[in-house]
Chains A and B, each alone.
Chain A
Amino acid sequence: MSLATSFFHDANFLDVLYIVAFALFIYGLSGLTGPRTAVRGNRIAAVGMAIAVVATLLQRQEGNWGLIILGVAIGAAVGVPAARKVRMTAMPQMVALFNGVGGGAVFLIAWAEFRRSGGYHGTALYIAAFSVFAAIIGSISFWGSNIAFGKLQELLPGRPITLGAAQQPVNFLLGALAVALGVIIVAGSHSELIFILMLLAAALLGNAVVLPIGGADMPVVISLLNAATGLSAAATGVALNNPALIVAGMIVGASGSILTNLMAVAMNRSIPAIIAGGFGGGGVIEGATGAGEHAGSVRSTSAADVAVQLAYARLVVIVPGYGMAVAQAQHAVRELAKALEARGVEVKYAIHPVAGRMPGHMNVLLAEADVPYEQLKEMDDINPEFARTDVSLVIGANDVTNPAAKTNPGSPIYGMPILDVENSHSVIVIKRSMNPGFAGIENELYYKPGTAMLFGDAKSAVTDITAELANI
């Protein structure tokens, strides 16, 4: 018994467990590169996590088991039902929330460690530095993620909330304040007040960075915050000398950075420009001036007309956007596609990298509605096909189809790669009203001669079309 006990507490054995754990993370994540291996990959990573937790529990010296069980029980009681019940359309805010609690855990641990050690008393300088870094980034991530959650859940207004021209100086000052206070602590201050002020400055910065960001930029923000939490976890790992934390945190940091960059490239916007606050006020006004001269030349159509057009098409490309998610229309869209396919119409889906509110948002929704993976086309694959497309059916997507991104250098989205729906023979746009999208930019596509608008809620409009189709 005692032999077995000592073996399980042996430092080398525990290190081996950690190595197994992060090997499983890496192996599991590499499984996420394809839809067939992805489920297994995720489960392998989860097994790695379980091993890391067990190794940590074996390593512990002191008691407090009751408190650990309490914390885990609360976490499980909150996390499991949330993950089970969340709608696929609400996935962005769920990810934001989970990301936020991760950041929250990071700064709380740093704070507790600061208090426990009497203000990093007798702690190596580098450990204090990594711990303070984790505290600042964790606090930013916690508050930023919560604001992102609030915006996506519509607890807060989705439009940018800014301080105007003062925003950037304020952000800069808050960031500089948090760093300065952090430096004071690392330099040897044991004052908890300074530590708390540092956390507060970081918290305010988290709020100040995310509040001005509009809904359309959310994919970038969520992946950026994800990367931030990963990096702060890695810093916690260095501070606590825990290799599993370092590896896992860095992998998340790297993946979050890659995704953030991909999103920013897909919008032709720099990451600093997005963080600096929404679509700049000037750009929106310039884009909006186009509204007056176009007004009135929009062609409205009916579900019956759309059904006829679709029924006699050879190739229909469906372009989904956030509007489809809001209306929960993915199943209705799939039904329409099935009805069209039954008539011999070829149906494809054009997925813009930033359609929706998080990377790959549309893919998840369409997968939920059983749309075959092969029909989901990425932007570069589908764009050449629009020229031979009879009807492009735009469902709740706006900015990602706006030709102004190519033609109008004054537009705030100028240079953003778009889906070339205007090249198809005709375009049908399902939209609730003529209100411009989140970015507040007028879409020239709606005024083109080949475009017809079908006004209404995405779900009921698509359902109506499917019903009309049955009558033809």
Chain B
Amino acid sequence: MLLTNLTILVLAGFVGFAVISKVPNTLHTPLMSGTNAIHGIVLLGGLLVIGLSGNGALNKLLLVIAIAFGTINIVGGFLVTDRMLEMFKRKPTAAPKDDEQ
């Protein structure tokens, strides 16, 4: 199991390098917030551990907080990235828009 997991670990690292090194400077902020959303996947860890036996009250509290944190990370990260990327799309008319003003 360790060997399999380490293999996945190393290969995934190389895949990450290969994919990300092609991203242009312009898209670095969305890239960062997009990958930021992806590490919210630790939510799965919270979901798994809370499903195991032997969790006391404090553990449940810790895990609920962890699940809430993971959810913030995922939902917030993807939404904010989506908002940003929408702005990079060419717009037909330059309508002054949005919450900024």
Chain A residues near B (Cβ < 8 Å): 22, 25-26, 28-30, 32-36, 38-39, 41-43, 45-46, 49, 52-53, 56-57, 59-64, 67-68, 70-72, 74-76, 78-80, 82-89, 91, 94-95, 98-99, 101-102, 104-106, 108-109, 111-113, 115-117, 124, 126, 222-223, 226, 229-230, 232-234, 236-238, 240-259, 262, 328, 331, 334, 338, 351, 353, 358-361, 363-364, 367-368, 370, 372-373, 376, 378
**Chain A residue contacts of B29, Cβ below 8 A:** 91, 95, 358-361, 363-364
Known: A108-B65, A255-B35. A241 touches B1 (CB 8 A): yes
**B9 near A251 (CB under 8 angstroms)?**
no
Whether A35 touches B47, Cβ cut-off 8 Å, given contacts A105-B73, A248-B41, A338-B94, is no
- Max chain B C-beta neighbours (<10 A), residue from A226, A353, A363: A363
Q: Is the CB of A237 within 8 A of B37?
A: no
Residue of B nearest to A74 (CB): B68
Q: Are B88 and A367 in contact (CB under 8 A)?
A: yes
CA distance A64 to B63 in the complex (A): 11
**Complexed CA–CA distance, A441 and B42 (Å):** 41
Given A238-B9, A338-B94, A106:B45 Cβ within 8 A: yes
User: How far is it, in angstroms, between the C-alpha of A71 and the C-alpha of B46 when the chains are bound?
Assistant: 10
Question: Contacts A39-B82, A243-B5, A353-B25 known; A109 to B59 CB distance under 8 Å?
Answer: no
Tell me, rounded to whole Å, the shortest Cβ–Cβ distance linking B57 to chain A. 11
Find out whether the CB atom of A240 lies under 8 angstroms from the CB atom of B45: yes
Closest 8 CB pairs of A and B: A75-B71, A254-B16, A71-B67, A360-B28, A79-B76, A359-B28, A60-B51, A250-B12
Residues of B within 8 Å of A222, CB to CB, are 32
Counting chain B CB atoms within 10 Å of each CB, the highest count among A61, A86, A95, A378 belongs to A95
The answer, among B12, B24, B47, B69, for a CB contact under 8 Å with A68, is: B47
In the complex, what residues of A have CB within 8 A of residue B38's CB? 25, 29, 45, 49, 230, 248, 251-252
A358 to B84, alpha carbons, bound, how many Å?
A: 14
Complex: chain A residue closest to B91, CB-CB = A370
Q: Would you call B15 and A76 a contact (CB within 8 A)?
A: no
Contact of B39 among A252, A259, A370, A373 (CB under 8 A): A252
Alpha-carbon distance A72/B43, docked complex (angstroms): 9
- Chain A residue nearest to B4 (CB atoms) is A243
Closest B-chain residue to A81, C-beta based?
B76
B14 to chain A, nearest CB (A): 8
Contacts of B16 in A (CB 8 A): 250-255
Interface size class of B (residues with CB under 8 A): 35 or more
Q: Which of A75, A247, A259 contacts B70 (CB 8 A)?
A: A75
Q: Which residues of B contact A351 (CB under 8 A)?
A: 25-26
Question: How far is A378 from B25 in the complex, measured between Cα atoms in Å?
Answer: 7
The minimal Cβ–Cβ distance linking A445 to chain B, given in whole angstroms, is: 23
Min CB distance B56 to A, Å, is 7
Check A112 against B59 for contact (C-beta < 8 Å).
yes
Contacts of B85 in A (CB 8 A): 35, 38-39, 42
Residues of A within 8 A of B50 (CB): 64, 67-68, 112
Closest to B22 in A: A33
Complex-state Cα separation, A458 to B76, whole angstroms: 30
Contact B88 A35 (CB under 8 A): yes
Among the listed B2, B25, B30, B80, which residue makes an inter-chain contact with A86, where contact means beta carbons less than 8 Å apart?
B80
Across the interface, which residues of B come within 8 angstroms of A87, CB to CB? 99-100
Contact between chains at B65 and A67 (CB < 8 Å): no
Q: Which residues of B contact A101 (CB under 8 A)?
A: 69-70, 72-73
Q: How far, in angstroms, from A364 to B28 measured CA to CA in the complex?
A: 9
Contact B25 A240 (CB under 8 A): no
Bound-complex Cα distance A325 to B66 (A): 33
A323–B14 alpha-carbon span in the complex (Å): 38
Known: A91-B29, A112-B66. A226 touches B100 (CB 8 A): no
Q: Is the CB of A49 within 8 A of B17?
A: no
User: Within 8 Å CB of B60, what residues of A?
Assistant: 64, 67
Determine whether the beta carbon of A71 is less than 8 Å from that of B87: no
A105 to B55, CA, bound (A): 16
